A and B are shown apart, each in its own frame.
Chain A
Amino acid sequence: MKITWNWLGEYVDLTGLTPEQVAEDLTSAGIPVEKMASMNLGVEGVVVGLIESVTPHPQADRLRVCHIDTGTTKLQIVTGATNVQAGQKVPVALVGAKLPEKHIELANFRGLPSEGMLCSASELGLDDKFLPKDQAEGIWIFPEDAPLGENVVEYLGLNDVVMELELTPNRSDCLSFRGVAYEVAALYSREVHMPDVDASGVATVSDKPLSVRIDTALCTGYSGQVVTHLELGPSPMWMQMRLLAVGMRPINNLVDITNYVMFEWGQPLHAFDYDAIDNREIAVRQAKDREVLRTLDSQDRELTSGVIVISDHKKGLGLAGVMGGECSEVTDNTTTVVIESAMFDPMTTRRTSRLLQLRSEAALRFEKGLDPDAVLPALHRASALMVQYAGGQLLGNPVITGKNLVSPVAKVQILVRVARVAEVLGYAMDIEELEGFCHQLGLPAVREEAGLRVSVPARRPDLLREEDMIEEFARLAGFDRIPSTNLKGALSHGGLSKTQKLRRMTRDYMRNQGFDEVWTYSFVDGEVHRKLNIADDHELAHPMRLLNPLSEDREALRTTMLVPLLEVAKYNASRQWESLFIFELGTVFLPTAPNGDKGMMAPVEKKVLAGVGYGSVAKEPLYAGRNYDFFDIKGLVEGLFERLGIKDKVSFERMAYPYLHAGRSAEMLVGGKPIGKLGQIRKEVARTFDLASEVYYFEVEMEALMEMVSSHLYVAELPRYPHVERDLAVVVNRTLPVANLFSTVKAAAGSLLESVTVFDVYTGEHVGDEEKSAALRLVFRAPDRTLTENEVQIAVDQVLSQLNSNYGAVLRK
């Protein structure tokens, strides 16, 4: 909402105030003034002049010589403009005048002196889009009634300041000068004076110029005034300039008057051609399904029953509150109009204007809800202005119908308890002060035992409850008056939950392992699974999709962390990062029901820890020698499990997965339930992300890990007797997983076995082509004695025999 200082001054006395101060005070009272600018960008010494004659320049085809009367002097001015004619009034910059981008001096054009300059609108620093094309491109031709010799700063009202208000949605009352005037009045304890609207001119007698019937509950009030004998023409210059300043393009006197009154009262008006109304009968009704109405932008609009139309009994005349119909448009031939001032359902108007993508100043005000107390004053005011500035005569009395206009709307009554004000704000105000604020706001208030009973006029629909009034008091008192205090009551125990702590610990672990944390978008391309080699019927290929995405590459909710991480890898790889280690603990969204279902369910949101690594293991090139591989990423995950104390609970099994290398990938399981996967990204998948080297990936579901983590740590007794080690190198089939040997060893060795580890795996000339040798270290210990050689040997023999019978394992020679 834009306002101008002088226009505002018509409704509230601004004496002794400056725009700067009012802007600051409005801002700290919750009506932020976002921008403030002078309308005069530096015009000085420009007056209204009359062109007495125009003659061609004897020496130059393109120049003309104008003889100008400024009322006090006669001047000769040479111009290049082509739209000047004798008898026109134009802005004349005198010698010594200042324009925003020029300084005018006595000039000489091909031998002829030029005592000043004729100006265009843009040379005066004004927006020229409201002017006809020839004037916008040439000299601005003023109306005939422009007063000769007057300073154009005065004539155009340029000594004014435009302020742009950034209104919060609750303060739609300030979408009018009236509302802002009340706000300013409240801040400085002044009175609001709206124009007198009763003396709107004597109506010509007519038995019944118009009848109106409301056929829908979506219209709560409708008033109309017929005005006849109208002469269409431009509106007065001051009105055009004011409309322009608040962002409205001047059109003609009738339209400008409806707009001017809308800004003044906040009540949108519409003027339409009286002669277009069949039988002088208007009906306000809901549209029929598929009813077509041609709006005044010449578009045929197909309507639904959710739209309110103004119609006669044959046709639609306009879309209520949104746009008029072409058939009832005011044209050059119009002499009689109906001014409509009405109240339509805000939500219906909002839906209609959204549906038809017609956003206008009027629709904006309808959407926010109107003040029933402004409907008739606005109608009267517009009627009076049409009489004054368009030669109109009122035909009959206004037609007024609808429940909000016929019977007064009950006022909201709010009881404000003095004690409650202190309870909510934390400091006390006495009842006299509160009464004073009510008076400043123009809200009648009476004392009651508990406090004040406030009657809220319809112009403040945002005031509904006690808290709303408390906010009014607080903002008039200034929020700076609120003290800083400490919460009362018992201390509470703050902290993170177990899961939150473990998540932090996990992220810390990852960073200590040299992984950088990233933070990626949740939205991905809905077809991205194809890049991952995932078939269309795979569960990951059916992400939840947004109904209104901004773009195709951000249309679906990610089902895996892999895509965002590979995108980060791609981004950085293209910036010459030859090795990269990144992770994110992020959310994936797994659908629980197919898309588009009416009873669509919320997805399962899982927190997943995922990482991508490739390149040199060593940070310093000096020590480079080995690239990150499968056992690095496996070790990374194992280290995490160890950190969380759950290493023994997780097993690794080979798996086949669409985007993972078939021989270098594993699934992690707990009690048979998968909790994650890791491995090398298939080369062809890496290539689609422009990644060339061996890229490794892992993902683990955080919740699954957290469930296993114990809250307790109990220390085991320290061993009292020495252990005995035995190393066994056994030859087995090359494909046999070493983990299988471990489980056999553990089962066969009995209770004396403390641990088994592998310290070498050999393939080569000393074993068969299909064989490998695995060197195992077995550690034996008894809690209550030193083991004898014999005891250990018995256990080792059992192990060897079991390994042999399970896997044909033999001791390596």
Chain B
Amino acid sequence: MREQLLALQEQALVDLAEAEGNALDAWRVKYLGKKGELSLALRSMSKLSAEERPVVGQVANAVRETLEAAFASKFAEWEAKQAAIQEEKETLDITLPGRTRSVGAEHPLQKIIRRIEDIFIGFGFTVEEGPEVEWDYYNFEALNLPKDHPARDMQDTFYLSEELLMRTHTSPVQARTLEKRRPEWPIRIIVPGRVYRRDDDDATHSHAFTQVEGLVVGKGVRMSDLKGILLTFAKELFGENQEIRLRPSFFPFTEPSAEMDIRCIYCGGDGCSTCKHTGWIEVLGCGMVHPRVLEMGGYDPEEVTGFAFGMGVERIAMLLYKIEDIRQFYQNDLRLLKQFASLPE
């Protein structure tokens, strides 16, 4: 009986080795099924003696386990082979493009404005805004530029009526903020916005452009604080090693007034065509708020002082992105804009 069982096992394993697909099922029915050969063999065990029975039973169980394990392994192997065949059939060309929606690009000027805003928000500034159609009073008079002041020549203005004009700078928001907040201080604001000058458009001039203005008013605000904040700002925007310098200048609404230059970001100060071989690039005008402006805004210049600064966003964008023609910002050529869909922010 034992030999019979072992012979059965041997035969079964030989058959299994050959079996594939449906034949596997048939093999299982044949050998391991309820009416299969192993069951038949066991049924004949009843003819055995009581001594023989447990011994043969053990052998029979061992044979069943062996066959079941062999089947499981064979079946798994077959399944894996089937899966491989299936996947082979389903194989894609993974070099084809993904199914994506384009990522829209942020306009370069907006990108720069966002960066500048975020830097100054980090310094504790809030963001103020003001109208683009402005009264002569806020655009000029409240900034110490009375009618017929020769400095008005610096800014050729688009007029809508005798009193109404397109603002020539974001500075009127200084005057508006002082008027709105008085007598409170401190004031720490920046003002991004669009401004207009009556210039013919060319590579370096635009009748519309963008500025970011800054204003700080408070007790004991000093020109050294202005320099400190501008230095930190320049390092954040242009890099950790950025140097700045201030040069005396003139704005009717600041006194003392200064221009801020940065060390040329292309040549590092050795001199190149961008910095006209001076090693420095002018990026921003600034100064201490003129006492007259504080007075007109309802503040006592003996009690509070302040500083203000203003920069051209186009100029900074042109430097940072190496754009050479200011008109490109307003042309909205998608071949250019699409390049701004990616980092860096």
A492 at the interface (CB under 8 A from B): yes
The 8 Å CB contact of B104, one of A30, A548, A581, is A581
CB distance from A443 to the nearest CB of B (A): 17
Interface residue B89 (Cβ < 8 Å from any Cβ of A): no
CA distance A550 to B208 in the complex (A): 12
Closest to B131 in A: A605
Do A30 and B229 form a contact, CB below 8 Å, given A368-B150, A511-B105, A514-B103? Answer: no
Closest to B153 in A: A169
> Which residues does chain A contribute within 8 Å of B250, judged by CB atoms?
30, 168-171
Quick check: A347 and B256 within 8 Å, CB to CB? no
- Nearest CB in chain B: distance from A187 CB, A: 12
Indicate whether A199 reaches chain B with its CB closer than 8 angstroms. Answer: no
B4-12, B15-23, B33-41, B117-125: which lies at the A interface? B117-125
Chain B residues closer than 8 Å to A545, beta-carbon distance = 160
A347–B148 contact, CB under 8 A?
A: yes
In whole Å, how far is A489's beta carbon from the nearest beta carbon of chain B?
6
Task: Kindly provide the distance from the CB of A554 to the nearest chain B CB, expressed in whole angstroms.
Answer: 7
Interface flag for A507 (CB, 8 Å): yes
Contact in complex: B337, A517 (CB < 8 Å)? yes
Chain A residues 135-181 with CB under 8 Å of chain B are 168-172
Q: A494 contacts which of B122, B134, B329 (Cβ < 8 Å)?
A: B122
Interface presence of B203 (CB below 8 A)? no
Is residue A546 contacting chain B, with contact meaning CB distance below 8 A? yes
Stretch of B76-84, B240-248, B264-272 contacting A (4+ beta carbons < 8 Å):
B240-248
* Nearest residue, chain A, Cβ from B330: A521
> Assuming the A-B contacts A471-B256, A489-B186, A491-B124, are A507 and B291 also in contact, with contact meaning beta carbons closer than 8 angstroms in the complex?
no
Give chain A residues whose Cβ lies under 8 Å from the Cβ of B344: none
A585 closest partner in B (C-beta): B110
B225-254 interface code vs A (CB 8 A; 1 in, 0 out):
101110100000000000001111110100
A contact residues around B228 at 8 Å (CB):
483-487
Within A566-601, the residues touching B (CB, 8 Å) are 568, 571-572, 575, 577, 580-583, 587, 589, 596-598, 600
Docked Cα-Cα span, A495 to B119, in Å, equals 10
Who on chain B is nearest to A169 by CB?
Answer: B151
**Number of A residues whose C-beta is below 8 Å from B?**
95
A715 lies within 8 A of chain B by Cβ: no
Q: Which residue of A28, A172, A494 contacts B120 across the interface (Cβ within 8 Å)?
A: A494
Q: Is the CB of B159 within 8 A of A514?
A: no
Does B220 reach chain A (CB closer than 8 Å)? yes
- Decide yes or no whether A497 CB sits under 8 A from chain B: yes
Which of B110, B135, B163, B257 is in CB contact (< 8 Å) with A519? Answer: B110
Query: Is B43 interfacial (CB 8 A cutoff)?
Result: no
Contact of B247 among A28, A497, A513, A521 (CB under 8 A): A28
Is A523 an interface residue when CB atoms closer than 8 A count as contact? yes
A171 to B151, CA, bound (A): 11
Q: How far is the CB of B269 from chain A (nearest CB, A)?
A: 15
Question: Which residue of chain A lies nearest to B221 when distances are taken between CB atoms in the complex?
Answer: A487
Interface bracket on B: 35 or more
Comparing B48-56, B63-71, B93-101, the segment that makes contact with chain A is B93-101
Bound-state CA distance A597–B103 (Å) is: 47
Tell me if B176 counts as interface (CB < 8 A to partner A).
no
Residues of chain A contacted by B105 (CB below 8 angstroms): 511, 516-517
Q: How far is the CA of A190 from the CA of B234 in the complex (A)?
A: 38
- What is the minimal beta-carbon distance from A490 to any residue of chain B, in angstroms? 7
Residues of B250-287 at the interface with A, using a CB-CB cut-off of 8 Å, are: 250, 252, 255-258
- Do the beta carbons of A487 and B247 come within 8 Å of each other? no
Report how far A169 CA is from B152 CA in the complex, Å. 9
Indicate if A88 sits at the interface (CB-CB under 8 A): no
- Find out whether the CB atom of A544 lies under 8 angstroms from the CB atom of B102: no
- Residues from chain A with Cβ under 8 Å of B288 in the complex: 424, 467
Our pick among A489, A548, A550, A602 for the contact of B200 (Cβ within 8 Å) is A550
Alpha-carbon separation in the docked complex, A602 to B172 (Å) = 15
A512 at the interface (CB under 8 A from B): yes
B109 part of interface (Cβ distance < 8 Å): yes
In the complex, the chain B residue whose C-beta lies closest to that of A171 is B250
- Name the interface residues of A17-38: CB closer than 8 Å to any CB of B: 27-30, 32
Which B residues are CB-close (under 8 A) to A596? 161
A484–B222 Cα gap in the complex (Å)? 10
A158 to B124, CA, bound (A): 58
Query: How many Å from the CB of B126 to the closest CB on chain A?
Result: 6
Q: How far is the CA of A496 from the CA of B132 in the complex (A)?
A: 20
Which A residues are CB-close (under 8 A) to B200? Answer: 550
Q: Closest residue to B258 on the A side, CB-wise? A: A479
Q: Are B127 and A496 in contact (CB under 8 A)?
A: yes
Contact residues in B for A521 (Cβ distance below 8 Å): 207-208, 330
A500 adjacent to B224 (CB under 8 Å): no
B114 proximal to A (CB < 8 A): yes
> Whole-angstrom distance between the alpha carbons of A62 and B256 in the complex?
66
Once the chains bind, are A426 and B106 in contact (CB under 8 Å)? Answer: no
Bound-state CA distance A284–B313 (Å) is 50
CA distance A340 to B120 in the complex (A): 57
Interface string of A460-499 (1 = CB under 8 A from B): 0000010110110011000110111111111111111100
**Does any Cβ of A come within 8 Å of B315's Cβ?**
no
Give chain B residues whose Cβ lies under 8 Å from the Cβ of A459: none
Stretch at the interface among A263-271, A618-626, A701-709: A618-626
25 contacts between A and B (CB under 8 A): A29-B248, A30-B249, A30-B250, A171-B250, A367-B150, A423-B220, A425-B224, A426-B225, A471-B248, A474-B248, A475-B248, A483-B224, A484-B227, A485-B227, A489-B220, A494-B123, A496-B121, A500-B127, A507-B106, A513-B104, A523-B207, A554-B207, A581-B104, A619-B100, A619-B101
